Structures are given as C-alpha cells and as structure tokens.
Amino acid sequence: MAAEDRADPLFVRSVEKAMGILSAFHHAGGPLTLSDLATGAGIDRSAAQRMVHTLRALGYICRDADGHGYLPGLRVLDHTLDYLRLDPLVRQATPVLQELRTAVRERVDLSLFDGPRVVYAVRLQTTRQTLNASLVGHSVPSFCSSGGWAMLSRLPPEQARDIVERSDRRPFTSDTITSVDDVMENIAKTRSDGYALTTNQILSGEIAAAFPIMNAKGEPLAAIHIAGSLADWTPEDYARRVVPPGQAAARTISQY
Amino acid sequence: MAAEDRADPLFVRSVEKAMGILSAFHHAGGPLTLSDLATGAGIDRSAAQRMVHTLRALGYICRDADGHGYLPGLRVLDHTLDYLRLDPLVRQATPVLQELRTAVRERVDLSLFDGPRVVYAVRLQTTRQTLNASLVGHSVPSFCSSGGWAMLSRLPPEQARDIVERSDRRPFTSDTITSVDDVMENIAKTRSDGYALTTNQILSGEIAAAFPIMNAKGEPLAAIHIAGSLADWTPEDYARRVVPPGQAAARTISQY
DNA sequence: GGGCGTGTATTGCATAGCAATATTCTAAAC
DNA sequence: GTTTAGAATATTGCTATGCAATACACGCCC
C-alpha cells in the first residue's frame, strides 16, 4: 500500500469510483458510453465496467432506449425523496414558502449554501417557468445569484472574497457581474440592506430578490428567492413589493 | 471465494454496501445513528463505519445539526438533476404538462412505472398541496393509484395480476381497494375506458385521473395524473372536464 | 459509579477488486 | 458485401484493499 493510501484507511476507493461514474453525468448532454463514463470518472475502463455493472444491478444506471448508451436510473430519485423529506430546513420552509408565493404571486424557491454554488432544494412554481427553474438539484454560482449574494453577505468579508475568487466567474448574460471587486461591492450592499437584489445576472430580463437564512450560530444555511420579470417591474417597485414579506418569511424560517 | 460469490465476478460488493447505507434512510423518520445505518443496510458495524466515512467525504451523507446522527447530504440532489435533465420522457413531457395544468387548473404530475410502484418525476404545483404532493421521488403503490391502474391496464392481464398479487396491499384510506379481484376489475375498466379514475384511494377526498404513456413497443412507461378534490367535483363532472385534455396530452407525449 | 450505546481507532489477514488482455458484436464507411 | 473501429463483454493471475474482530473514549442515564 502506498503511503498516501494508508493515510485514510477507512476510505473505500471502490465507492468513490462508483460515485465518480454517476457524477460523469453531471456534464453530459445525453446518454454516455462505457468509455465516456470511464473518462468522466477518471478511472480505468475495466473498473468502469465493474462499477456500471453493479450500479445497473442496483437500479442507479440504466441503458438508454435504443441500447446505445447509459443514463441515470430511477433509484436516484428515491434518495432525492429522502433528502427532501428528512432535511429539517426543507420541511419547515415549505409551508412558509407556499404562503409567500400566494402573497407575492411570483416564483419562490429555496436554495442551500454550498460554497461557490447554491443548490435549489424547493422550487415553487407559477404557471410558467423554464425547465431549469423547476428542477430540484439545479444549482447556480454564488458569485452572481441573488441567493449567493444573500448568503455570502452573512460570511466574514475575507471568507466571502475567497469563495468569489475561486469561483468560475463566467458570465451567464452580457450583464453578469464578474469582477471580484464589483461582486464584493454588491455583497457589501446586500449586507447593509439585509437582502439581495439582482437584475439580468443568470437570465436576461430576470429580477430576483433573496433573503438569507442562518443557523443558530449565525452561519448562512440557505436563502429564499423571489424571481420576477423586468418587463413587469422596475427594481424599486419590485423591492417595495417583495422585501417586506420576503424578510418576514426568512425570519419565520430562521426561528426554528 | 464462495461459489455464489464467483457467480458474478463483476459485481462490486462494497458499492452495494454503500448504496445500502444510503437506502437505510428510505425508512427513516429522522437522523440515523451509525448502528441504525448498519442494521438498516444489513451489514457489519465496521463496514458501516467505512461506508459512512467515505460517503461523508464525498458529500452524500452529513452529520445532523446537533451532531447526534446522520442525514442524506446535498450531493444526492446533483444526481436528481442529472436524472431529470437527461430522461427524455421528463424533458418532452414537462412543457406539455404545463399547458395541461393551465387548461385544467388542477394538480398535474408525471409518474414513471416501476412494477409494484409508480415514482413521481414531474410535479407541477397549484397554490396549495401537501408536502408529499410536491416531492420528486415520492412513490405510491401501483395497485391503488390512478397512475398504477393506467399503466397496469397496458400490460397483459396475467402480468398485471402478478404485480398486484405481490404488492404490499395495505390500505391508505378506509376506501382503498385491496382485494386482488377488485383491483383487477378496476384495471379492466381502465383498459376499456383508456384512462383511470380513482377516488379516495391514496388520500381521502381526492379524485385522480391518469392517462398511460407507452414506449414504441406499446409497453407502459409513465402516466399523466390530474388530481382534484371530491369537495369540488363529482366523478362524472371531473371525468368530463379532464379526460379530453388529459388524453390529448398523453397522445402528444407518446408520439415522440 | 456503573452500564450502555454511541463514534472512533487499530491491525493482521484473506479475498475482492484490479488491470491487462482477449473476444465478440454492431454500426458505419467504403 | 467487406472491412474497420469502437463498443460491450469476458477472463484471469495477482496484490492491495477492505474486512471484521476488537479495543478505546465519551456521554448519557439510572
């Protein structure tokens, strides 16, 4: 055994390989071949064969309809359900967000903080939104999203800056703010306002407000988002409309 | 190596153990201890220690807030996103279901066929529903759900009966039909009508219509559900209202 | 203070998983 | 129709990984 392998004798490399195979789909646009999966997971083709064979038997991977590649299997959704059912924040947030959506009549979401990204766990829908806007598990970078600014504003500024600096700051629209200094300026404004307001950062024409939710130690855990259209609102009117109920909802959820 | 172990040399037992640990949460009501996870996965406590250690390192399991147990970790949702993004049926169904929801103004879902159960993959929301009604990954038994009757009706009757017979036919409400013969009678009616209509089977007061979606070989893949309240509708009025648009939507999705 | 159940740590050993390699199959190109 | 390339599948000897038995530390409860 190599010295570095003995460093963590409890770590099970086969499990890492299997999860690496499943993670190869993160960057996929469609079904993947065995070789694609091996390459994506950074492992040997033989190891990939064993992992795929095992994951298929367990229901986590399946053949696609014409037998030309592999896709994630239905068993994945069982674990999604466990996550959503068991996460205390998701459980207590959901009814509060439903009331908030009724009050403001715009799209309401809850995202969870994961350093350089925020991950959507609760997506409340309106009558029309993009497919991405309805998908649990969808994530966006913290540096250019309203939720990201909200949660980063609740970290010490050096820690927030570190996260922003090591983000992949590629723009989503022609208006996406990518300069570290400009992002930090907006985070500072969010800190003083108590909420974030973004325009055109992830989608052109979108305005989004976000309200941070902290744990008992004051660390950011999550954020409520309320997204609307710049076709319907000016930023000032939007803030006036959604900030009071958004802040109330965030306080209600943070109280638990 | 035992003879039965040699039967499938490609199968990786450590991966099965790790997924077994994650699956222990399927029956959990809250955080689980290491011993709970070992018992739930049917493995030795030492093996459970290694699997939990590895899954924590990879983000699939985390400690709960007060450090007294373990919960599913956020990485689970990344794979959810992959499933939903990459499943061709989910992709093509989603815009069709959104139009259907606008047309009928009731709760619309897509569930996928998985033998004795149906798994919800697309949940379109109205202004009010239970938490279970919004969760991706939630499943219900085929024998007593509208989607189950819809999909079972598209199998040969012996195959459908086999699935019903080996289901755990416990009632959800005092009106849940659990007799195999009665279930098969309803499946026969669904076969002749072309759609399923259930009342009070999963939730008291709920009426649900379902429309099967088949693959190119005519095998059931999925079903569209439209759920409403018996407080608002008689079964006859409900069928009149939702069957034409529901069947049209199912035809549109099956055409691909 | 003792017992119990929890999480964590250690270690020698056996076999599970490895990777190199071979084979088969299928689709596409010529 | 044949050939080629890339796919999936199968085989096998070897060794390092994962195992399980065991010990230890900690916290809670009686």
Q: What is the mean pLDDT of residues A54-58?
A: 95
| B178 vs A131, more confident | B178
End-to-end Cα spacing for chain B: 48
Q: Which nucleotide is nearest to A31 (CA to C1')?
A: D7
Angstrom distance, A49 CA to C27 C1': 21
> What is the pLDDT, as a whole number, of residue A190?
98
Cα B202 to Cα B143, B188, B196, B208, B232: the distances in Å are: 11, 20, 14, 10, 18
Taking an 8 Å cut-off on Cβ atoms, the answer to whether A82 and B74 are in contact is: no
Tell which CATH architecture fits domain A87-254: 2-Layer Sandwich (3.30)
Counting beta carbons within 10 angstroms of the beta carbon of residue B248, is it exposed (0 to 12), middle (13 to 18) or buried (19 or more)?
middle
User: What's at A154, amino acid-wise?
Assistant: R
Per-residue pLDDT tens digits for B206-236: 999 999 999 888 899 999 999 999 999 999 9
Q: What is the ipTM of this complex?
A: 0.92
Q: State pLDDT tens for residues B55-87.
A: 999 999 999 888 789 999 999 999 999 999 999
Give the closest-approach CA distance of B32 to chain A in angstroms. 11
B80/A137 CB distance under 8 A: yes
Alpha helices in B2-126 (DSSP H): 3-6, 13-23, 34-41, 45-58, 75-86, 88-104
Arithmetic mean of pLDDT, A50-56: 95
Give the gap in angstroms from C-alpha A185 to the nearest C-alpha of chain B: 29
∠ CA(B58), CA(A254), CA(A127), 5° rounding? 80
CATH number of B3-77: 1.10.10.10
| Cβ neighbours of A28 in B, within 8 Å | 82, 86
Q: Do A136 and B11 touch (CB under 8 A)?
A: no
**Protein fold of A3-75:** Arc Repressor Mutant, subunit A (1.10.10)
Closest-CA residue of chain A to B124:
A125
Work out the pLDDT band at B4, boundaries 50, 70, 90.
very low
pLDDT at residue A3 in the model: 42
Residues of A in contact with B138 (CB under 8 A): 81
Beta strands in B101-251 (DSSP E): 107-114, 117-124, 139-141, 196-199, 206-214, 220-229
Nearest to A12 among B51, B95, B139 (CB): B51
Residues 85-144 of A with CB under 8 A from B: 85-88, 91, 94-95, 98, 101-102, 112, 114, 119, 121, 124-125, 127-128, 131, 134-139
Please state the rounded mean pLDDT for residues B127-146: 86
pLDDT digits (tens, 9 = 90+) for B80-94: 999 999 999 998 899
pLDDT at A128 over 70: no
- Locus of tokens 């996460």: A87
Q: Would the CATH topology of A3-75 be identical to that of A87-254?
A: no
**For residues A51 and A43, what is the distance between their CA atoms, to the nearest angstrom?**
10
Rounded to the nearest 5°, which phi and psi values hold at B41? Answer: -85, -10
What pLDDT score was predicted for residue B20?
A: 96
Range with lowest mean pLDDT among A132-141, A201-210, B25-34, B102-111: A132-141
Q: Cβ distance B194 to B239 under 8 Å?
A: no
In the structure, how far is the CA atom of residue B58 from the C1' atom of nucleotide C12, in angstroms? 28
- pLDDT of amino acid B184: 98
Contacts of A136 in chain B (CB under 8 A): 77, 80-81, 84, 136
Do the Cβ atoms of B53 and A112 come within 8 Å? no
* Domain regions of chain B by residue span: 3-77, 87-254
